[in-house]
């Protein structure tokens, strides 16, 4: 069901402009971010053809059709679910998110998310900036990624933290298990990331387009012996925070993360591998990625804070198995 529909014709002064910029100028009541979401979701047509790229050029005489869907009425229920709280005060909450848990409700998944748990734990003491579906959520990590996230309990803290993320001043480190060994063992990946041309649900390194994405990495340990394919435990520090950044960059580097079904490579069979290790790897049903630490300035006190989240059981056991097998 549609809420509203717009038809806009490209005139000479906008010939050659980006699609999202043209629409932003012509439909001022809708934010550019919202327009970009509508483009990605297939609600924009150019000359009766659906366009998915925000940077697509528009030309003189093009007819743009913009459909605004009616927002679904949603009521997010508080759920009494276990939350591993690392720290809490009147302004923020730090949570060590378990793997296989979604941060906030979305299409087809409105219960048992971190937000549902926060609504039960914090009552109404969460920021409203993110709207009904994302109260308190300043940033997020993927469902299958574990580790630390910070949540805002009021709008003041939310705005302050959001600016720190925008300014790239927040220190974020991750640990991951990847195939092979990185060369060099310590370095920086500076490669733009944008939506994949082949699959709009995924991201990819884009040489011509995309947003700046920088990942600093270092090898912590390399697991290898005659009965074990080479696997590395690495630490990554983000200078930027693009969607799936580490997963995309590691795949681009040629060292995809173990268990990553979207950006990884099929590694189900090996010529030489310990049977126990092979079973442990194949039973690891998610990407081996953990948000290890988060450092930032407290939004109200100005104090520098730093939090570390212990690795979840499945990740820790896989590391122990690899360590034992490589001795």
pLDDT tens sequence across 135-155 = 999 999 999 999 999 999 999
Range with lowest mean pLDDT among 131-145, 148-162, 271-285, 292-306: 271-285
Confidence class for position 11, pLDDT limits 50, 70, 90:
very high
Whole-angstrom distance, CA of residue 173 vs CA of residue 54: 30
Q: What is the CATH number of domain 171-326?
A: 3.30.2350.10
Residue 302's pLDDT is what? 98
CATH class of 2-69: alpha beta
Confidence class for position 271, pLDDT limits 50, 70, 90:
low
165-218, pLDDT tens digit by residue?
999 999 999 999 999 999 999 999 999 999 898 887 899 999 888 999 999 999
pLDDT at position 249 over 90: yes
pLDDT at position 250 over 70: yes
Hey, what are 262's tokens? 């979207």
Share above pLDDT 90 across residues of the chain, in percent, rounded to a whole number: 73
Q: Do domains 85-166 and 171-326 have the same CATH topology?
A: yes
| pLDDT, mean of residues 206-232 | 91
Whole-angstrom distance, CA of residue 25 vs CA of residue 168: 28
Residue 71's pLDDT is what? 66
Is 144 part of the annotated catalytic residue set? Answer: no
Residue 260's pLDDT is what? 94
Residue 207's pLDDT is what? 86
Residue 34's pLDDT is what? 83
| pLDDT, mean of residues 97-112 | 88
pTM of this structure:
0.78
Task: Determine which one of 142, 144, 260, 314 is catalytic.
Answer: 142
* Segment 49-53 long-range contacts (CB within 8 Å, at least 24 positions apart): 51/19, 52/195, 52/200, 53/19, 53/195
Residue 235 contacts residue 217 (beta carbons within 8 Å)? yes
Confidence class for position 72, pLDDT limits 50, 70, 90:
low
Give the CATH architecture of domain 85-166.
2-Layer Sandwich (3.30)
Mean pLDDT taken over the chain: 91
Half-sphere exposure of 201 (CA within 13 A, CB side): 2
Whole-angstrom distance, CA of residue 239 vs CA of residue 165: 10
- What are the structural domain ranges in the chain? 2-69, 85-166, 171-326
180 or 3: which leads in pLDDT: 180
| pLDDT, mean of residues 118-139 | 91
Range with lowest mean pLDDT among 47-61, 79-93, 264-278: 264-278
pLDDT at position 1 over 70: no
Residue 266's pLDDT is what? 52
């Amino acid at each position: 069901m549609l809420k509203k529909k717009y038809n806009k014709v490209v005139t000479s002064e906008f010939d050659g402009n980006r699609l999202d910029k043209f629409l932003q100028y012509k439909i001022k009541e809708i934010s550019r971010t919202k327009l970009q979401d509508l483009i990605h979701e297939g609600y924009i047509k150019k000359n009766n053809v659906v366009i998915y790229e925000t940077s697509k050029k528009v030309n003189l005489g093009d007819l743009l059709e913009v459909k605004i869907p009616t927002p679904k009425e949603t009521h997010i229920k508080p759920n009494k679910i276990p939350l591993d709280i690392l720290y809490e005060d009147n302004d923020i909450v730090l949570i060590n998110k378990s793997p296989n848990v979604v941060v906030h409700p979305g299409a087809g998944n409105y219960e048992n998310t971190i937000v549902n748990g926060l609504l039960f734990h914090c009552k109404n003491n969460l920021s409203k900036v993110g709207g009904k579906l994302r109260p308190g959520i300043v940033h997020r990590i993927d469902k299958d990624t574990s580790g630390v996230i910070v949540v805002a309990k009021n709008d003041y803290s939310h705005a302050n933290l959001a600016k720190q993320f925008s300014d790239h001043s927040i220190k974020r480190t991750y640990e991951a298990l990847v195939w092979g060994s990185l060369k060099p063992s310590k370095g920086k990946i500076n490669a733009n990331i944008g939506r994949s041309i082949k699959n709009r649900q995924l991201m990819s390194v884009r040489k011509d387009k995309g947003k700046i994405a920088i990942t600093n990495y270092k090898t912590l340990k390399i697991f290898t012996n005659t009965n074990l394919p080479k696997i590395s435990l690495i630490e990554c520090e983000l200078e930027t925070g693009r969607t799936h950044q580490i997963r995309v960059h590691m795949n681009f580097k040629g060292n995809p993360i173990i268990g990553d079904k979207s950006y990884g490579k099929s590694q189900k069979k090996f010529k030489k591998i310990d049977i126990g290790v092979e079973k442990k790897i194949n039973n690891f049903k998610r990407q081996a990625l953990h948000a290890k630490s988060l450092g930032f300035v407290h939004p109200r006190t100005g104090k520098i804070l730093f939090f570390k989240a212990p690795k979840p059981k499945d990740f820790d056991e896989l590391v122990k198995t690899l360590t034992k097998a490589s001795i």
